[in-house]
Amino acid sequence: MYSQTTKHNTLISCPDCDLLLSGRVAPVSHTLLCPRCGKTIGKRTANSVLKTLVLSLTGLLMFFPAIILPLMTFESFGFSDSANILESIVNLFLNDYFMVAIMVAISAVLFPFALLTAIFIVSLQLHKKRYPPYLTTLFRLYIHLEEWAMIEVYLLGIMITIIKMVDTTEIIYHSGIFCFSALVVVTLAISTVIDKRFFWQTIEHKDQTHSANKPGSPAENNNTTAAEAGLILCHTCHKLSPISLEDKGCPRCGGKLHIRKANTLSRTWALVITSMIFLLPANLLPIMEVDFLGIPERSTILDGIIYFFQHDSYLIGLIIFTASILVPVFKVTGLIILLLTSRPSAPRFLREKTQMYRFIAFIGRWSMLDIFVIALLTVLVDFGFLTSIHAAPAATYFCIVVAATMLAAITFDPRVMWDKCGSKSKQHHKISSFQKE
């Protein structure tokens, strides 16, 4: 019989530094941390499948009301305008901001819905102890799309919009805003109760006596990496397989196996350079246009921040400054530091650099904040001749920066830093030859 306690002897390796660890099952409510780089390897949640099932069902029931019901109405000088999430996307399409509309649609509607559907089906089947082959595809979809669903950022965008407009318009709140807030809470709850390692092991539905799990294998040997032990970690499901399977499909999830992410340094450089190029128009060109009595006034990201500071909204000004300027610049600078120092040298600050990488990967999504605020304002403030708000060209460039920096964090493989800074020269040869693949 399959249970959460049958995996005591399975080897695992750290996705961030490749350290080989004995795959001890952590006690319930505990997280397993990598002793070398501090990465959270996995956390145990009691009844993870059932909790995920209940939460994803709740999320699905709430999804369409949250997206379709009006969020709020703005009233000013006898004009009124209401908006829901879908309208904020359609409006961007109608105004030819396709790239921005696609980014907002993906991050606020399409991927959150796909995630909820996928995890509902997976947890339902696992709960019923049924293991159809498509579960692998669905759970892979969940793992890959998770990062691109950003409804919590959209909720912060709604709050910023309210604070921005509360002094100049009367705001009437509708049921949509409560459904959407509840949807965000449910989605965040799913990410805390889901035990991905257990899900994968259950989907695989067989005892973990695969070839990676040799008795007396080097898990207890300090600082042995998976690569040195002839093992390869799957990026998607974190299963260890023999190195002979490189460039072939993972036996568990079918994802292609690479000893390190393919061409990690060159791909990340390309994306970082793209981000740097588009950061200029994103910050120098206007991102929003306000038409007041037929006179258009365009403002850049910085103008918007200065506006908040001039009107004593320091907290909002600081949040927008952090999300729109500080985060993209920090991401680009941080990734350049990681790329430049990922070469054979003294192993300095490896743990700190890996922590910085994880922080860069975590904060990327919050840059979409200003875009969500603009998407909402364009629908909520459309009072005919009196005043209306529109997106301006920098919005497109800004979306490209967000997408490119997020992709750069995904393509960068932090294990390369550990490989290249390792003291054993044989390791350098081993890894550099894998890099060429």
Q: Which is nearer to Zn ion, 15 or 286 (CB)?
A: 15
Q: Tokens for 8?
A: 């005591």
Q: If you search the block for the tokens 């530091």, which residue do you land on?
A: 337
CA angle 182, 183, 188 (to 5 degrees): 100
CB of 149 to Zn ion, least distance (A): 21
CB of 242 to Zn ion, least distance (A): 13
Q: If you search the block for the tokens 């035990």, which residue do you land on?
A: 195
Positions in the binding site for Zn ion (CB under 5 A): 14, 16-17, 19, 34, 36-37, 39, 234, 236-237, 239, 250, 252-253, 255
Cα separation, 328 vs 160, whole angstroms: 19
Q: Which is nearer to Zn ion, 63 or 412 (CB)?
A: 412
CB of 241 to Zn ion, least distance (A): 8
CB of 58 to Zn ion, least distance (A): 29
Q: What share of the chain is helix, strand, coil (3-state, %, to 5)?
A: 55, 10, 30
Cα separation, 338 vs 353, whole angstroms: 7
Q: Which is nearer to Zn ion, 342 or 367 (CB)?
A: 342
Q: Which is nearer to Zn ion, 160 or 338 (CB)?
A: 338
Q: Tokens for 212?
A: 């990676």
Cα separation, 133 vs 127, whole angstroms: 15
Q: Which is nearer to Zn ion, 364 or 414 (CB)?
A: 414
CB of 35 to Zn ion, least distance (A): 8
CB of 436 to Zn ion, least distance (A): 23
CB of 141 to Zn ion, least distance (A): 13
Task: Name residue 80's beta-bridge partners.
Answer: 75
Task: Name residue 81's beta-bridge partners.
Answer: 74
Amino acid at 154: Y
Burial class (CB in 10 A: 0-12, 13-18, 19+), 21: buried
Taking residue 315's Cβ as centre, other Cβ atoms within 10 Å add up to 11
Q: Which is nearer to Zn ion, 239 or 390 (CB)?
A: 239
Q: Which is nearer to Zn ion, 240 or 408 (CB)?
A: 240
